[in-house]
Amino acid sequence: MSESSVAVELQGIWKRFPGVIANSNINLKVTAGTIHAIVGENGAGKSTLMKILYGMQKADEGTISIHGTSLVFNSPADAIAAGIGMVHQHFMLADNFTVLENIILGSEPKSGGKLDFAKARELISDIAAENGLAVDPDVLVGKLGVGDRQRIEILKVLYRGAQILILDEPTAVLVPHEVEELFNTLRDLKKQGFTVIFISHKLDEVLSIADEITVIRQGTTVGSVNPHTEKVSARDLAEMMVGNELPTPQSVGNTIQDKVVLTVENLSVRATGGKAVVDGVSFKIRAGEILGIAGVEGNGQAEILNALMGIESSTGRVQFLEEDISKKSTRHRRDLGIGFIPEDRQRQALLLEAPLWENRMLGHQTKAPNAKGFWLNPRGAKADTKRIVAEYDVRTPSIDVNASALSGGNQQKLIVGREMSGNPKLLIAAHPTRGVDVGAQAAIWDHIRNARQAGLAVLLISADLDELIGLSDSIKVLLRGKFVTDADPATVTPQELGTAMTGAGKAA
């Protein structure tokens, strides 16, 4: 075996934030010219680790070695100089700039005092050609789709001479054929001698592309496996990530009633530009039924939810019990008894700079116990907040602290508790247990199941396939704004569902 050099070595990395230890004693060795994946649950510390490697954060303790040389990074500029390039999960692109401007920003070729646009164009088309990444340098980035934007991010790092690429959750927002294109690009890059570090929690994908996989759990490295030489399954990896037996929510018999709570006919949402992000979706949910929607993020789930809540405009018909609510306001829909757990809890579901008991009122400020007619009832709200804190195990020293002081998981528990209060007839939930620890996750599932027993109808969207399969009575798969297939939770496996979600196995 030829001597393969170690491209990146992290030893003994520690990083603490107020209230939490993000990385504890992390050790990582990445061989040059390979694709190395880092997997772990949300909040396990992967992003923090990569930010340290890219110079965006500084480790409290530990060393970084690139190709055997120990280096200190004070800023991304240092990391860039060492040949490291980072492709962020949330793209760092200026929509109002062209592709060219975005790529050269900070490392502009100059002639005299002037920016040498011609030279820039030349450099970029060279790099693009070498690595099979086609781009039009004069297009405004704001007009580009997700796959193209990612390509630009990759070009950005290549343009700066990166030899080591870090990709943070690159497939989170890609549709299936874009994932394949990305993986082809990565394989090309590997052939050219680049080293790729790939952060993900999509275990199936990781197994198909990575040469080596490191698992991180609760801020520390659990172990590394080589999928080429060892037999390892997604389930094995998942157990390494979580540390114990995965809880599987089990369905308990039939609770579905005859009464139809929600009827959706031909719902469509158009993005600016006319493209149908949601394309003629129809479904019914009955009391006591949980309908799950499976799909890779970005296929229209968020828009369906926003349309149902009246936050985004849509065409089509939405009927709640006997009432046509297609044109009704958000407040009206909520008052009818629709609870909503949105995807972006910090932006959509919380007032971070308000105490917990005021957050209890958010979305429900028109009814008891929060209000009596025109007037608010702080005492009622506070008492009820205490109840929610107890019932949903929200870890907080008091109900007067600001929501920003709580951890993400506890914020989520508060939100779930709030939306489940007041006996809603329909609960629309997006990733209800995201960021919640395993024990509380099971408790939330119990709450939902109990409510279902009592007649609650639920529309469930989740990236956690086990949650989706375990809770739902029926599942529809959403792809590019349309329902493409149904699945029976009693018989479908996560692998089958994942396949349907990514459109693999279907003619394009």
Question: For the chain, how far is it from start to end, CA to CA, in angstroms?
Answer: 42
CA distance 185 to 177: 12
Shortest Cβ distance from residue 365 to other proteins (Å)?
5
Nearer to other proteins among residue 45 and residue 494 (C-beta): 45
When asked if residue 72 is in the footprint of other proteins (CB under 8 A), the reply is no
CA dist., res. 446 & res. 359, Å (int)? 23
- The whole-angstrom separation of Cα 344 and Cα 462 is 13
CA separation for the pair 223, 217 (Å, rounded): 9
**Binding of other proteins at residue 395 (CB under 8 A)?**
yes
Residue 57 binds other proteins, judged by CB under 8 A: yes
Q: Is 222 in the site for other proteins (CB under 8 A)?
A: no
Please list the residues that pair with 266 across neighbouring strands: none
Among 334, 413, 449, 476, binds other proteins (CB under 8 A): 334
Question: Within the chain, how many helices (H) and strands (E) appear?
Answer: 16, 24
Enumerate the H helices of 230-300 as residue ranges. Answer: 234-242
- The correct pick among 72, 352, 390, 504 for binding other proteins (CB under 8 A) is 352
Which helix (DSSP H) or strand (DSSP E) does residue 379 occupy?
helix 378-391
**Mask for 161-200, x = binds other proteins (CB under 8 A):** ----------------------------------------
How is the beta sheet containing 195-200 ordered, strand by strand? 84-87, 164-168, 195-200, 35-39, 212-217, 220-225
Closer by beta carbon to other proteins, 230 or else 400: 400
Shortest separation between residue 445's beta carbon and other proteins, angstroms: 23
Report DSSP letters for 70-129, one per residue.
EE--SSHHHHHHTTEEEE-SS----TTSBHHHHHHTTS--EETTEE-HHHHHHHHHHHHH
Q: Residue holding tokens 């025109």? A: 374
86 forms part of the interface with other proteins (CB under 8 A): yes
CB of 321 to other proteins, least distance (A): 19
User: C-beta of 492: minimal distance to other proteins in Å?
Assistant: 32
Pick between residue 273 and residue 505 the one whose CB is nearest to other proteins.
273
Dig out the tokens for 370 from the structure. 């929060």
Contacts (CB under 8 A) with other proteins, residues 369-388: 371, 374-376, 378
Task: Give residues 96-155 in contact with other proteins (rule: CB under 8 A).
Answer: 96-97, 101-102, 104-108, 110, 113-115
Q: CB 204 → other proteins: shortest distance, Å?
A: 28
Rounded to the nearest whole angstrom, what is the least distance from the CB of residue 94 to other proteins in the complex?
A: 4
Q: Is 94 in the site for other proteins (CB under 8 A)?
A: yes
Q: How many residues bind other proteins (CB under 8 A)?
A: 71
CA distance linking residue 370 with residue 280, whole number of Å: 38
368 binds other proteins (CB under 8 A): no
Provide, rounded to whole angstroms, the least separation between the CB of residue 71 and other proteins: 16
Task: Dump strand ranges (E) for 307-444.
Answer: 315-320, 323-324, 338-341, 371-372, 375-376, 426-430
Binds other proteins (CB under 8 A): choice among 396, 433, 441, 462: 396
